[in-house]
Structure 1
Amino acid sequence: MDVNDLTVMFSEAIFLVVAMVAVLVVPGLVVGLMIAVFQAATQVNEQTLSFLPRLVLTLLMVLFAGSWLLQKISDFFGELFLTIPHIIG
């Protein structure tokens, strides 16, 4: 296995991590932005109003997307373990 194959493997790993984090974080960012606009419009500066909906949404995303996340990571590790003999020699 040469450097190009390892580079492709690392790029796939980084893309997988970014995709998994994006699934969990982006909905929370959108809800946080909507709540921030609401707070700015109404001048309500309550910290729990911002924190609690993002927490609940993140937990719901883990609940709904958890099986997909586990399937993606297990597929990647399965592919990685199958390529270990090619890396060694």
Structure 2
Amino acid sequence: MTGPEVLDFARDAIWLTLAMAGPIMLTGLTVGIVIALFQALTQIQEMTLVFVPKIIAIFVSMLIFMPLMGALLSAFMAGVIERIVNP
């Protein structure tokens, strides 16, 4: 493998990581902002109110986006195998 090929592989791996983690992170961010806004509007200062809805939302988003993440990872692995077989 040459230097540019290694850089292409690393770039693809970073983009794959962002594509797989992005939807789940955005879900957690959205739920966190909504709960923080709710707490600010109602002046409820309960710290545990943040965690339970965020954990549930992240778990549900993982279930929803699991096929997408599997397809992305499968395509990336097929590309890696293709690079190994055909240098």
- TM above 0.5, one fold? yes
Partner of residue 12, structure 1: 12
- Which stretches of structure 1, 4 residues or longer, exceed 2 Å deviation after superposition? none
Partner of residue 38, structure 1: 38
Superposed CA RMSD: 1.2
Deviation at 1:43, TM superposition (A): 1.1
Give the structure-1-normalised TM-score.
0.88
User: What is the alpha-carbon distance in structure 2 between the residues aligned to residue 20 and residue 48 of structure 1?
Assistant: 28
Residues 30-85 of structure 1: CA distance to partner in whole angstroms, max 9, x if unpaired?
11011111111211011222111111111111111101101110110111012114
Deviation at 1:27, TM superposition (A): 1.0
Residue type at the aligned position of 1:32: G
Unaligned segments of structure 1, at least 5 residues: none
Residue type at the aligned position of 1:22: G
Unaligned segments of structure 2, at least 5 residues: none
Residue type at the aligned position of 1:60: V
Residue type at the aligned position of 2:22: A
Give the structure-2-normalised TM-score.
0.90
Query: Percent identity of the aligned residues?
Result: 30
